[in-house]
Amino acid sequence: MPDTTTIYIDGKEIKAQKGENLLNVALKNGISIPNLCYHKNLSPTGACRMCIVKVEGMRGYMASCTVNINDGMKITAFDDELEQVRKTTLEMLLSNHNDDCINCTRDGDCELQDLAFRYDLGKSQRTLKSLVENTECYNDLSSPVLDYDASKCIQCERCVKACYEMQGKGVLSLAGRGINTHINAGWQEWKTSECDGCGQCVQSCPTGAIVQKPISGIRVRKKDIEKKVTTTCPYCGVGCQLEISIIGNKIVKVEGADEIPNFTKTCVKGRFGLDFVDRPERLKKPLIKLNGEFIEVEWEEALNYTAQKLTEIKNKYGSQALMGVSSARCLNEENYVIQKFVRTVFENNNIDHCARLCHASTVAGLANSFGSGAMTNSIEELEQSDVILITGSNTTETHPVIATHIKRAVLFNNAKVIVIEPRKIDLVKYSTLWLQEKNGTDVVWINGMINVILNENIQNQKFIDERTENFNELKKTVEKYTPEYVEEITGIPTEQLIQAARIYAGAQKASIIYSMGITQHSHGTDNVKSLANLAMVTGNIGKKSSGVNPLRGQNNVQGACDTGALPNVYPGYQKVDDPNAQEKFEKAWGVPLSNKFGLTITEMMDKAIDGEIKAIYLVGENPMVSDPNISHVREALESVEFLVCQDIFPTETTELADVIFPSASFAEKDGTYTNTERRVLPVNKIIEPIGESKPDWWIIQEIAKRMGYEMNYSSHKDILAEINSLTPSYAGITYDRIMQGEKLQWPCPSIDHPGTKYLHKDKFTKGKGTFFAIDYIPSKEIPSKDYPFVLSTGRVLYHYHTGTMTRKTKALPQYVEGPYVEINDTNAQNLGIESGDTVKVSSRRGKIILQAVVTDKVAIGSVFIPFHFAEAAANMLTNNVLDPVAKIPEFKVCACQIEKVISNPEKAKICACQMEK
């Protein structure tokens, strides 16, 4: 516990912590010392000199933001002398400032304007001449998301510090001298710099020097804003809390809320990528396909027609002929209703969602090793890890705000980062070691690290003896994985492997971070279990800032799994073949339930082609871009008799539907998402639904009623109450607690439980942790003469999933407009390919035409394609071969060929610049 002490400010007695920041203490106690360069989330700068005070026993004026509290300090915060010095300082700042308040978007929201008013320093009251009036000051309007105007900059450095200290980037600095001093983005235009548009500088700027571009088409001042609502970001699994400003029914501004898990941070998508919500392309009315054409109909007609068609198919072919696909984009409450609908109305367990395509192997693997298939620790704990091992996760692009925690751990806490990746990702810059493995060889290097750890006797034997089982089996299996053998298969030099093993095993607190580079393989479950082995061998599990942390991709993929949108479990992972669970849900839902596991999405495609699945009800998914082997997906979706889609936009998949229902977006409904760290977060309605769109749970409920099953939820509250009553891990995460601002992590078994920050303390969920002895199985498709390259797919920072939302925003396509393939310099030279050339990439399943980007990011013999772009969908090429346990496809490895189609030197510069970010 920090020591408490008493200080005196202007005679007022104040209790404070020893070492606390004096200015912060004063402000917290209602003593309004003026300040400009200070920000509570940043280290003090002491540059503006507005916060000067007198401290008894110290000479001169002290900038209170740079003073730490000491026993019995006596401080003068206000007297005539201090106020006069402040006024003079402020006047000097104002003489260097362009008072364009009349046309400034920060009018009414400017800390300099507030102080000018407070000290009565209007233009006519000033004695100093303006230095900027007739000076041409530096400005930079090149960024897609922000504008910089040096004439309004007071050089407080808050933006510089926010960029480095909060985001861990360090792109910004001060440049120039005197009147020409300005903020500089890496000595080049903002647009071509390393700035990735996160906007932390915009949020930290106290004046109108750095402002957001009017991305919603409206210039916004504080006084114009009609309301602000805090909600959860609809993009990735970090679950950033966003404070969203509204004018009319339009989102006009987004700021990071100062709350867990992001504490004001966001990435470019969360801050500048929400204008998709009211794009004209939104689906606004139900559509029914007649003679190949969609026609708009009333809700009643669409609901009746859909219910009737589904009932006919069920009666004709039996209940096994129907399948539901739920959505990681939807609320917990919606996923719960969708899976309940399938189980009670379709009368089967044919319910799945896109977790099958990203982390099914995590759910299966970690559940077997530890008893629980989720992130073991919390995002904020990463900053206190001694070692962070990152594998199969391009964290900066996929979970940008989590990457800031990793960067901060390195920059401010001396953490060591080990990156084990085939591709040179951004975090390599922050790493102690980068092990460049060959795609698909994860089991080999993990077994190799365990081999080194056991040979050097640096394992945690006490942990192994007390908390695990099956260690001897593992020990036998890893014997052959010597560093030399590992190098042969993975390409990782022996010395690097040994060093990595020593660093990881030597840490007091070591975290493993992984994502789809580990899971999306035909041996994805083996990869996950192997990482669990590594953590248990060193005892780096069940304690703070350690653990095995799968980063879940979409905003609510964790919640969709938790609420039962899976074919083998009810909500809370209660098995459908467990008679107790079956009885419990039958009693609650009032109908008999099937105890037979249902189909996965990947199996659904085959069964549709075989004619066993006749109707698919698909909510918020776009498999025509997201699923492997798209020709196969098209064949499957075209084979069924009836396809229903619910979505916010028309997509490549809705084109194939028989009925389309317009869904309300995240901004138009209330409920909850569960982020990657098991934290249940509020989703609050911001605007009225666009057109006639409705929440997904409402649409499903209406269909259920028409098919003879009564659902009568009046709001998301009723649904959450039912989830609480049937899902032990969510029992204490009630509507009232969420409304009171609690952001709880499951398991939270009762209303007085504080939630669980990290799992497996003292005991694994399943009792003892199980080691699995796993041998390497190569990927199913390896390079050949006809297909000599290895293709891997993934995301880029500026787009999300199938691009349905991000590609409709104003800002994000300005960073990355369309599809491209990364090719290694050496391969490109041999093939005569330059950046910007048009190339054909083909695999055994299809071909696509796209732009080449020549780079050393990918290894010789490897290529990488982002999967967001339907016009050159990477998934035309990927292999739909499955992991036998988790049924996840092998997105990350397939063999392909590249040929040059057209030279296009004009594009070269643009592509190279996109790739440098």
Residues lying near ligand SF4 in the complex (CB under 6 A): 233, 235-236, 238-240, 262, 266-267, 269-270, 400-401
Tell me: cis bond preceding 747? Omega within 30 of 0 counts.
Answer: yes
Residue found by looking up tokens 């649409």 in the block: 699
Query: Which tokens is 77 given?
Result: 């915060």
Minimum distance from residue 237 beta carbon to ligand SF4 (Å) = 7
Based on CB atoms, which residue is closest to ligand SF4, 402 or 828? 402
The CA distance from 271 to 15, in Å, is: 38
Cβ proximity to ligand SF4, 238 vs 489, nearer residue: 238
**Would you say 115 or 797 has its CB closer to ligand SF4?**
797
The contacts of residue 717 (CB under 8 Å, 6+ apart) are: 735
Shortest spacing between CB 267 and ligand SF4, in angstroms: 3
d(CA 308, CA 316): 12
**Helix 442-455 to helix 471-478 angle, to the nearest 10 degrees?**
100
Q: Kindly tell me which of 403 and 833 has the beta carbon lying closer to ligand SF4.
A: 403
Choice between 233 and 720, CB closer to ligand SF4: 233
The distance in angstroms from the start CA to the end CA of the chain is 43
Closest distance between ligand SF4 and the C-beta of residue 743, in Å? 14
Other Cβ atoms closer than 10 A to 272: 29
Shortest approach of ligand SF4 to residue 262 CB, angstroms? 6
Q: How far is the CB of 681 from ligand SF4 (least distance, A)?
A: 10
Smallest gap from Cβ 13 to ligand SF4, in A, equals 42
- Residue nearer to ligand SF4 on the CB measure, 400 or 623: 400
Nearest CB to ligand SF4, comparing residues 235 and 776 = 235
- Are 422 and 436 a contacting pair, CB within 8 Å? yes
Sign of the CA dihedral running 728, 730, 732, 734: negative
CB of 594 to ligand SF4, least distance (A): 36
Cis status of the peptide bond prior to 650, with omega within 30 of 0: no
Q: Which is nearer to ligand SF4, 240 or 390 (CB)?
A: 240
Q: How far is the CB of 727 from ligand SF4 (least distance, A)?
A: 24
Cβ distance 900 to 841 under 8 Å?
no
Kindly list the distances between the CA atom of residue 614 and the CA atoms of 109, 287, 534, 644, in Å, as whole numbers in the listed order: 58, 20, 45, 12
Handedness of CA 79, 80, 82, 83 (dihedral sign): positive
Residue 731 · residue 724 · CB < 8 Å: yes
Residue type, 108: G
Nearer to ligand SF4, 395 or 527 (CB): 395
Task: Work out how close the CB of 355 gets to ligand SF4 at its nearest, in angstroms, rounded to a whole number.
Answer: 17
Smallest separation (angstroms) from ligand SF4 to the CB of 266:
4
Shortest CB 260 distance to ligand SF4, Å = 12
**Complex with ligand SF4: residue 208 or 400, whichever CB lies closer:** 400
In angstroms, what is the minimal distance from the CB of 401 to ligand SF4? 4
| Residue closer to ligand SF4 (CB basis): 238 or 858 | 238
CB of residue 19 to ligand SF4, shortest distance in Å? 32
For residue 777, give both structure tokens.
């199985």
Cβ closer to ligand SF4: 104 or 805?
805
What is the nearest approach in angstroms of ligand SF4 to the Cβ of residue 165?
18
Choice between 206 and 237, CB closer to ligand SF4: 237
Least CB distance to ligand SF4 at residue 196 (A): 11
Cβ proximity to ligand SF4, 266 vs 622, nearer residue: 266
Residue 343 token pair: 């189980």
Q: Which residue of the chain is nearest ligand SF4 when measured via CB?
A: 270
Q: 687 is written with which tokens?
A: 């605007």
Whole-number Å distance between alpha carbons of 707 and 311: 7
If the CB atoms of residues 401 and 608 are measured against ligand SF4, the closer one turns out to be: 401
Q: Which contiguous run of DSSP H or E holds residue 271?
A: helix 268-272
Amino acid in the structure at residue 408? R
**β pairing state of 52-55 and 62-63:** antiparallel
> Least CB distance from residue 188 to ligand SF4, whole Å?
25
CB of 274 to ligand SF4, least distance (A): 9
Q: Which two tokens mark 449? A: 């690290």
Measured between alpha carbons, how far is residue 584 from residues 35, 332, 346, 347, 560 in Å?
A: 60, 20, 19, 16, 20
Return the sign of the alpha-carbon dihedral for residues 896, 901, 903, 904.
negative
**Smallest distance from ligand SF4 to CB 740, Å:** 23
3-state secondary structure (DSSP) of residue 658: coil
Q: Which of 787, 917, 914, 799 has the alpha carbon at shortest distance from 853? A: 914
- Cβ atoms within 10 Å, residue 632: 17
Q: Give me the helices (H) in 431-576, please.
A: 442-455, 461-467, 471-478, 483-490, 494-506, 516-519, 524-538, 557-562
Measured from the Cβ of residue 752, the count of other Cβ atoms closer than 10 Å reads: 8
CB nearer to ligand SF4: give 152 or 265. Answer: 265
Amino acid at 121: L
**For the purposes of burial, counting CB atoms within 10 Å of the CB of 358, is it exposed (0-12), middle (13-18) or buried (19 or more)?**
buried
In the bound state with ligand SF4, the residue whose beta carbon lies nearer, of 239 and 542, is 239
Residue 894: exposed, middle, or buried by beta-carbon count in 10 A (0-12, 13-18, 19+)?
Answer: buried
Q: How far is residue 14's CA from residue 70's CA, in Å, rounded to a whole number?
A: 12
Scan for tokens 């099914």, then name that residue. 360
Distance CA 355, CA 753 (A): 28
| Cα dist from 803 to 357, 806, 851, whole Å | 17, 5, 18
Task: Give 554 or 793: the residue with its C-beta nearer to ligand SF4.
Answer: 554
Is 71 in contact with 233 (CB distance < 8 Å)? Answer: no
Q: CA 416, CA 503: separation in Å to the nearest integer?
A: 8
- Which residue in 726, 727, 733, 736 sits closest to 750, CA to CA? 733
